[in-house]
Structure 1
Amino acid sequence: MIRVDGRTLRCADVADAAAAQGPLVLDVSISALRAARKAWELAEELSARRIVYGRTTGVGANKDDAVPAGDTAHGLRLLRSHAGGSGEPMPPGHVRAMMLIRLNQLVAGRSGIHPDLIAALADALRTGSLPLVHRLGAIGTGDLAPLAETALALAGERAWLRGGIPPVPVQAGDALAFMSSNAATLAEASLAALELDTLTRASHAVVALTYIALDGNPEAYATPVHEARPHPGQIACAAEIRRLLGMEGTPAPGRRIQDPFGLRAFPQVQGPALDAVHYLRDVLAVEINAGTENPMISTVHGDAYHHAHFHTAYVSTALDQARATVHQVAELSAARLGDLVEPEFTGLRPFLAAGPAGSSGVMILEYVAHDALAELRQAALPMTLGTAVVSRGLEDHASFSTQAARAATAACAAYRQLLACELVAAVRALRMRQAELVDLPARDAFERAGAVLEPSTDDRPLTEDIAAAAAVLDDLARI
């Protein structure tokens, strides 16, 4: 059951909604619904005696165009004109996550939307009904097109991709109140943030196995080292590696006085990524429970406030930072993979080959890894360096958080492939060395990965090995 009260929705709830294949079980707060009704009543009252953007006026550069009193079709016209999404259909999980976030924001009671539309959105989620929503149509200043398409489905004017509910009427003030949100962007960002969290946690286990395969030097992870420069993520990373490897007291020195950066600098590079993902999740926890509608209807103050909460600079900059830091960690994974195929570091044959002379072993893994790294590098480019001037110059800045979220999704997919390549090589190296791992968390990681990876060291396609390694990373993140 997912609690919907406008205050306590979590990114994990969003992920649960996205993963669901049918109806959602919702616990919608009765008190929140009462507050939403009071906001609607106040919005109706205010619209009768003063100018309220989007209710008694047009939107964007049409802000000074007064809507005639009694023009009940104003809301539907706004939705129809803004439901111009394009491109591929949004994935079903993404749509469900968007709908849940929007429902939660609406019950926060600051939109002034009619309670029937809130109830209809909840019914759609409870019945597993999905509107047809297109991917393109937002630049980080409100997901106008996706939400307009959703609202028109609730109104009975657009087809449902799956299921459907009885149509509800749309009042003049409902259109902007429903569209004034970045729920679709926040849905994708939340899913990407959780995936980045999973992959960064799994990377500790992968690095621990590579460390064992390469006879790493434990000094780089020693507590005194990281107490001397106590960044939170760096300290957490070093502590996690010590836990996985059972480093207590003063461990025995490694084979080398200093390891390559892939091992030695891992805490210093992983630390910023851990901090960035943590910050991203904090930002999203605020956003998915925020009242972002412009204008904001405040029952506490009895007034409507025009503002710019639709602008998502917090989200776009947090996503840019997360992708950039994860890219640096991914570069270290590619570097460690290069060490794993080097006899000087493993004491094994080049490319971990085991067949006749000239066998290629896992040579291809480096090519796959660097291909994935190139895709991640492209996805890591900052979206916040761009802007847009639209609506006849009135809206003269954009955060591009929507594009930053899409790039985060791409970065996750690439990083998962890269870590999978390193894991395949690390497990093979440990098998070839016949390493006897003591009863430590790292051994659990080795056994879980080994259970899904083909033990044969013959030259053969490694496609299935990479896919299996990519899938087992979720398990490694929980060790």
Structure 2
Amino acid sequence: MSLTNTRTDTAPACLQLDGSPLSIEQVLAVAQRRCRVALSLEPAFRERISAGNRFLEQLLAEEGVIYGVTTGYGDSCTRAVPAEVLGELPQHLYTFHGCGLGRVLSAEASRAVVMVRLVSLCQGYSGVSWELLERLVWLLEQDVLPVIPEEGSVGASGDLTPLSYLAAVLCGEREVWVAGERRATAEVFAERGLTAYQLKPKEGLALMNGTAVMTALALQAFARTEYLARLSTRLTALSVYALDGNPYHFDETLFRAKPHPGQAQVAARLREDLHAPATPRNSPRLQDRYSTRCAPHVIGVVADALPFWRQLLETELNSANDNPLIDVEGGKVMHGGHFYGGHVAFVMDSLKQAVANLADLLDRQLAQLVDTRFSHGLPANLSGASAARAPLNHGYKAVQIGASAWTAEALKLTMPASVFSRSTECHNQDKVSMGTIAARDALRVLTLVEQVAAAVLHAVCQGVEQRSQLAGAAPLPVQLAAFVADCREQVAPLCEDRALESDLRHLCGLILQRHWSLYDAR
């Protein structure tokens, strides 16, 4: 794998695929159209792909029996398919799996699915043809994306139902996204002079019998989580200042006594944001409430888990995860269960619990900010109205209720999906991962947490400004002042009550786009 710029200086870089490992960020760059994709022209790579397909055809000619090529699928593997209709078998595989329901994946998620499946097939164990890889690259380059329903996968044998929509689109069927419009695939192919692809032996299985959907969604969830951990740290620093809190809770020596690396990193970022001086012999204000004092311990769980989650997800991404796999050098077909998405399910189940705790943390900080019993001199509900207008205005009262509702929903969704295995397909698939459901749950939790973060961001900027105007207030540290100034370019202060929905939606969009550069990526 290598990145090269094959167009003008302003064109996206091009990711050359040759079976080498890719990172989460590289896949997401393709999914977000910040990077193009091409197959490596190295002869060794092309030969590795072609050799697997040749071996499969040789085996078919010599022995005549290959699972999923000359037999039925799953529980039907003992049923031989007559030679005269073998060519129809892959079509039947994607056809009978065309029963997905629910909302459809976004264009970005669909692009990520195509990319993740392509990366897996480039490992050279799936017995597919070079032409199939070229077709997948064509979809990405032309931005012709399969319309994929979210629901219907149990996460083993992989994402069969959602991935059937990718296989069907390659064959000119079902629907695609083109320039934001949902259209019939056959129409779009005809306009672009492309004939429908004819799936070769095992290519239906190779496309569908893997973990591409759950992995693609998990990569998106990982990136959003990493950003939310940093944003939660910045919001905590702002809350500490607005609440006139104790900055010495984040003392470097204190965190050497409990040396979780991510937790210490969060504390260091808070010290940097707050410009906390050396801790005195005994703080004048002893102990703040847990939602600020223990913030490094809550956010630190995410920070410490991120490297482990990355390892599991990038291993899954760069794996061959269909069945059976082809060992050309050993001259054998290997039947196994690499389509099982247990690692992805575990990451998503643990991630959504850790992220929901960020919502709970931020919600508790907001509860302090709006309550005069705990806010140390801030106006009730952070209202910005004048004294004469104060009886009419309620500031962030409803926003805090909303944040509490979003937090409750996020916490409710932390039930692990992976423990709800269901025996399916005549008990052939009798233990399944539920990885795709776990990933979908995680993305929903992330959306709710981002909403809580948007609410706290709006409110804490107001609280910081109100604190800085009080007599005896410490100067607002430069880094926090610059951040608040940028936020004020996005949303205005709340003086008279106004409906804040549009402000909050705008902030949610900025969070999703990672608008603010927060700390560094270390």
| TM norm structure 1 | 0.93
C-alpha displacement of 1:159? 4.2
C-alpha displacement of 1:231? 1.4
C-alpha displacement of 1:166? 2.3
Q: Using a 3 Å threshold, how does the CA distance of structure 1 residues 461 and 399 change in structure 2: closer, same or farther?
A: same
CA contact (8 A) 1:202 1:477 kept: no
CA contact (8 A) 1:120 1:154 kept: yes
2:429 to 395, 413, 425: 395
CA contact (8 A) 1:324 1:380 kept: yes
* Structure 2 residue aligned with 1:3: 16
Q: Using a 3 Å threshold, how does the CA distance of structure 1 residues 456 and 62 change in structure 2: closer, same or farther?
A: closer
What letter is aligned with 1:440?
V
CA contact (8 A) 2:275 2:477 kept: no
Partner SS state of residue 346, structure 1: coil
Q: Indicate whether 1:478 and 2:518 are aligned.
A: yes
* Structure 2 residue aligned with 1:91: 106
C-alpha displacement of 1:39? 1.1
Distance across 2 between alignment mates of 1:365 and 1:108: 49
Q: Using a 3 Å threshold, how does the CA distance of structure 1 residues 450 and 2 change in structure 2: closer, same or farther?
A: same
* Structure 2 residue aligned with 1:448: 486
C-alpha displacement of 1:42? 1.4
Which shows bigger deviation, 122-131 or 304-313? 122-131
Distance across 2 between alignment mates of 1:131 and 1:189: 19
* Structure 2 residue aligned with 1:146: 162
- Per-residue CA shift, 1:293-331, capped at 9, x if unaligned? 211112232211111111111110111111111112211
Q: Using a 3 Å threshold, how does the CA distance of structure 1 residues 475 and 90 change in structure 2: closer, same or farther?
A: closer
Q: Kindly indicate whether structure 1 or structure 2 has the higher relative contact order, using CA contacts under 8 Å at least 6 residues apart.
A: 1
Q: Indicate whether 1:404 and 2:457 are aligned.
A: no
* Structure 2 residue aligned with 1:266: 295
Q: Indicate whether 1:417 and 2:418 are aligned.
A: no
Identity fraction in percent:
28
* Structure 2 residue aligned with 1:58: 72
CA contact (8 A) 2:273 2:477 kept: no
1:17 to 30, 40, 49: 30
Q: Which runs of 5+ in 1 are unaligned?
A: none
Distance across 2 between alignment mates of 1:159 and 1:449: 40
Q: Using a 3 Å threshold, how does the CA distance of structure 1 residues 33 and 254 change in structure 2: closer, same or farther?
A: farther
Distance across 1 between alignment mates of 2:498 and 2:376: 21
| TM norm structure 2 | 0.86
1:197 to 226, 249, 253: 226
- Per-residue CA shift, 1:363-411, capped at 9, x if unaligned? 1121110111122112222111201111111211111110111111111
What letter is aligned with 1:26?
V
2:37 to 26, 31, 52: 26
Partner SS state of residue 345, structure 2: helix
C-alpha displacement of 1:420? 1.4
* Structure 2 residue aligned with 1:125: 140
What letter is aligned with 2:29?
D
Distance across 1 between alignment mates of 2:172 and 2:503: 48
* Structure 2 residue aligned with 1:158: 174
CA contact (8 A) 1:140 1:312 kept: yes
- RMSD between superposed Cα atoms in Å: 2.2
Where do 1:173-252 residues align within 5 Å? 173-250=202-279
Q: Using a 3 Å threshold, how does the CA distance of structure 1 residues 476 and 5 change in structure 2: closer, same or farther?
A: same
CA contact (8 A) 2:299 2:358 kept: yes
Q: Using a 3 Å threshold, how does the CA distance of structure 1 residues 437 and 302 change in structure 2: closer, same or farther?
A: farther
Q: Using a 3 Å threshold, how does the CA distance of structure 1 residues 342 and 254 change in structure 2: closer, same or farther?
A: farther
CA contact (8 A) 1:327 1:380 kept: yes
- Per-residue CA shift, 1:141-184, capped at 9, x if unaligned? 11112222221221224344434332222223221122121211
Q: Indicate whether 1:462 and 2:500 are aligned.
A: yes
Distance across 2 between alignment mates of 1:213 and 1:403: 39
What letter is aligned with 1:87?
G
Which shows bigger deviation, 404-413 or 72-81? 72-81
What letter is aligned with 2:88?
A
Distance across 2 between alignment mates of 1:425 and 1:253: 31
Partner SS state of residue 3, structure 1: strand
Partner SS state of residue 166, structure 2: helix
1:348 to 363, 378, 394: 378
CA contact (8 A) 2:94 2:167 kept: yes
Distance across 1 between alignment mates of 2:515 and 2:102: 35
Q: Which runs of 5+ in 2 are unaligned?
A: 1-13, 179-187
C-alpha displacement of 1:226? 1.4
- Per-residue CA shift, 1:7-53, capped at 9, x if unaligned? 332222332233239xx621322343321111111122233344432
* Structure 1 residue aligned with 2:151: 136
Distance across 1 between alignment mates of 2:378 and 2:195: 67
